Structure 1
Amino acid sequence: MGSFVNSSRNGGGGGAVVDKGVDFAQYFCTYGFLYHQKEMLCDRVRMDAYFNAIFVNKQHFTGKVVLDVGTGSGILAIWSAQAGARKVYAVEATKMAEHARALVKANNLQDVVEVIEGSIEDITLPEKVDVIISEWMGYFLLRESMFDSVICARDRWLKPTGVMYPSHARIWVAPIRSGVGEHKMGDYQSTMDDWCDFVDETKTYYGVDMSVLSKPFAEEQKKYYLQTSLWNNLHPNQVIGSTAILKEIDCLTATVNDILEVRADICSSITLENTRFCGYGGWFDVHFRGRKEDPAQQEIELTTAPSVDNGTHWGQQVFLLHPPIRVSEGDNLSVSFSMNRSNENHRLMEVDFSCEIQPVSGKLIPRFSNKFYIE
């Protein structure tokens, strides 16, 4: 995830006005710390993909004007300059801009890279740009809603012949097996047992009956333990069925309306014999292809798919079923998916899965639905 500009209003249509102060307190503030930047800079998959995308496709940068949206430490702006850019505008909403400015100067690039502290919606550039580069991806790609600001930057500042880095993105999902669900259910049950003891003791010792709050407490804890998606580093052998694409994005043409709500109907076939369907695993990839009229010399992919030893700081998002369902090779899953932004915080997501299972042998398992929160 990049260090972000302040999305005070959504570009490309759609979305409500966001209170800048609240948004900064809830979200941007963490990106002003070097420890957070270091976590991303230590992600070798992330770093190698952007490094290779820039330096094997120098034709997109040499002599060109580049805009880095949410520059953070300034690493992408520095690479763009090293690849031969004539001018780089590096925009950053947080005080990390001061560190980026120092880093640019320490690398003797201050005559090429101009660090601008401010939100992309509010700043003004003296010229249009040939390239927009940004590391805008959040968990499950769209958490954090950073792409809104990239769209705004594109619509305001990219030349008609310009290119986007990355140029394309996809969201993936697959059925998985995992032992984490039992632990989360155990934690939930332990919490509810503790609540029951609390209610009994409060009535016994203090004469106040708290049981009227038991239902809202249970709903609160159920959301926390059982319905909130988990960050995980899945092993490929935890994927038990065929993968499917939920969403494809062309960064050159997508609008905010295109990503406000993601809907998909997909099918997956179980590929393991006699296993447990414990939930869904979700991840994303992005591609650096240039544009049709000006393609990359070499396409680079950054993927956050389950990996044996090459994971990213994004990991995967895991949506667990309680309880798991026994499935077998050849069983077919028919899944309907939807993802919307939270009403309380536009940078968080609410996800709905509904699934019908057609076993190879046996009776149809009727459609069941689950709601999850990406927080």
Structure 2
Amino acid sequence: MASLPNGTAAAAGSSGGRPVDKEVDFANYFCTYGYLYHQKEMLCDRVRMDAYHSSVFRNAPHFEGKVVLDVGTGSGILAIWSAQAGARKVYAVEATNMAEHARELARANGVADIVEVIQGTVEDVELPEKVDVIISEWMGYFLLRESMFDSVICARDRWLKPDGVMYPSHARMWLAPIRTGLGDKKMEDLDIAMDDWNLFVQDTQAYYGVNMNALTKAYRAEHEKYYLKSAIWNNLHPNQVIGQPAVIKEIDCLTATVDEIREVRAQVMLPISLEGARLSALAGWFDVHFRGSAQNPAVEEVELNTAPDEQGGTHWGQQVFLLTPPVKVSKGDSVNVSFSMVRSKENHRLMDMEFTYELHEFSGRKHPAITTKMYLE
């Protein structure tokens, strides 16, 4: 999943599905994928690339002589690998003009007779046959941002054979307590922004005779949302994780429904494992697994993990959710977290979240619960 120039996230793979809201959403979401520099960022992610490459070639029996559907093919590399692994036919669906590049790559790699690139959305395209395998790199920040999995579910329900497999087949979302200086930096940025606003208010009054102070509260609220309540992309080091991570959502890609992923709610206990730390944020990441199915298991299971890694991790990084105020914790304490994530009403590809966290000290003392709203935009 690439990042847009303004720092927001683009979708994980490329766009194979169709937004369900407004035409402007369609245009904004899909337009970025016509550019090779977005594709290059994803193609340069070695963790991502190695996981998909291994999942295909170590499980070649799933592909040999089979029909494959690649949802959101982008540059077409997953379709090309599928053909190289022995697929009889690969339908590579891509909504953007990147489809032309995918056709060119298929020709250049000698698989144009196998890989058929179809420009369109999986909600609209018609295939001449059912498929044995659906492969897609649909994952967004914190797994579900972008809602591209909706399109994969649509493709599965329309085109996958009853004994077919999905690549990936399973996914999990994780949450962990962390220490980070990002909150201090963001608070400094907020203070600078408010100092600048206050000077603006003074100057406007002095030079133009208009008192703008009535808007100060609204201006601050805007900037608090931007600096303190918006998820922050970061590649964390493992030593920033100060407690035991917990799974907050598990997804079976063969059976999941859109209703199941529309809202994610969980209650977890996060034991603290570091003495004298400051719990300043929670971090979210995901992993996906290539297991095949119960009827047709993988020869070798492969995992793609986006957890904090001392080698630098992936282009997905992790999402950091600042806790205000931070909490001093000790080894043996635990943090009880009630978590909810729902799609934004304004744009279903973005997420609104709420955390309620309560510190339970090892001594038995409980701190008052604190609720904070966050946004994954």
TM range (shorter): over 0.9
Aligned-partner SS, 2:369: strand
Counting only pairs closer than 5 Å after superposition, residues 116-135 of structure 1 correspond to structure 2 as: 116-135=118-137
Q: Distance in 2 between matches of 1:6 and 1:18?
A: 12
Note the C-alpha offset of 1:324.
1.6
Q: Distance in 1 between matches of 2:195 and 2:274?
A: 37
Paired residue for 1:3? 14
Counting only pairs closer than 5 Å after superposition, residues 35-50 of structure 1 correspond to structure 2 as: 35-50=37-52
Paired residue for 1:248? 250
Correspondence for 1:320 among 319, 322, 331: 322
Q: Distance in 1 between matches of 2:249 and 2:181?
A: 28
Counting only pairs closer than 5 Å after superposition, residues 41-80 of structure 1 correspond to structure 2 as: 41-80=43-82
Q: Distance in 1 between matches of 2:99 and 2:21?
A: 22
Paired residue for 2:299? 297
Counting only pairs closer than 5 Å after superposition, residues 66-215 of structure 1 correspond to structure 2 as: 66-215=68-217
Contact 1:6 1:24 in 2 (8 A): no
Aligned residues: 366
Is 2:358 aligned against 1:356? yes
Note the C-alpha offset of 1:363.
3.4
Contact 1:333 1:355 in 2 (8 A): yes
Paired residue for 1:372? 374
Contact 2:291 2:302 in 1 (8 A): yes
Contact 1:45 1:310 in 2 (8 A): no
Paired residue for 1:307? 309
Note the C-alpha offset of 1:54.
0.3
Is 2:31 aligned against 1:29? yes
Task: Tell me the amino acid that sits aligned with residue 296 of structure 1.
Answer: A
Q: Distance in 2 between matches of 1:131 and 1:186?
A: 50
Note the C-alpha offset of 1:18.
1.6
Runs of 4+ in 1 over 4 A off after TM superposition: none
Note the C-alpha offset of 1:6.
3.5
Contact 1:185 1:322 in 2 (8 A): no
Aligned-partner SS, 2:228: helix
Note the C-alpha offset of 1:236.
0.5
- Per-residue CA deviation, residues 153-175 of structure 1 (Å, 9 max, x unaligned), is 00000000100000000000000
Scaled by the length of structure 2, the TM-score of the pair is 0.96
Q: Distance in 2 between matches of 1:114 and 1:3?
A: 17
Unpaired segments ≥5 residues, structure 1: 9-16
Contact 2:168 2:288 in 1 (8 A): yes
Q: Distance in 2 between matches of 1:68 and 1:272?
A: 44
Unpaired segments ≥5 residues, structure 2: 1-11
- Per-residue CA deviation, residues 32-86 of structure 1 (Å, 9 max, x unaligned), is 1000000000000000000000000011000000000000000000000000000
Contact 2:143 2:173 in 1 (8 A): yes
Aligned-partner SS, 1:116: strand
Deviates more, 1:316-325 or 1:231-240: 316-325
Note the C-alpha offset of 1:214.
1.1
Task: Tell me the amino acid that sits aligned with residue 5 of structure 1.
Answer: G
Contact 1:78 1:104 in 2 (8 A): yes
Contact 1:32 1:95 in 2 (8 A): yes
Note the C-alpha offset of 1:332.
1.2
Aligned-partner SS, 2:52: helix
- Per-residue CA deviation, residues 13-33 of structure 1 (Å, 9 max, x unaligned), is xxxx422x3123322111110
Contact 1:91 1:120 in 2 (8 A): yes
Correspondence for 1:236 among 235, 238, 241: 238
Contact 2:18 2:26 in 1 (8 A): no
Deviates more, 1:362-371 or 1:87-96: 362-371
Paired residue for 2:338? 336
Task: Tell me the amino acid that sits aligned with residue 88 of structure 2.
Answer: R
Aligned-partner SS, 1:237: helix
Cα distance, 1:205–1:310 mapped onto 2, change above 3 Å = closer
Q: Distance in 1 between matches of 2:18 and 2:331?
A: 46
Aligned-partner SS, 1:298: strand
Q: Distance in 2 between matches of 1:23 and 1:79?
A: 31
Task: Tell me the amino acid that sits aligned with residue 29 of structure 2.
Answer: Y
Q: Distance in 1 between matches of 2:325 and 2:195?
A: 19
Identity score, percent: 66
Task: Tell me the amino acid that sits aligned with residue 82 of structure 2.
Answer: S
- Per-residue CA deviation, residues 224-280 of structure 1 (Å, 9 max, x unaligned), is 000000000000000001110010000000000000000000001100001100110
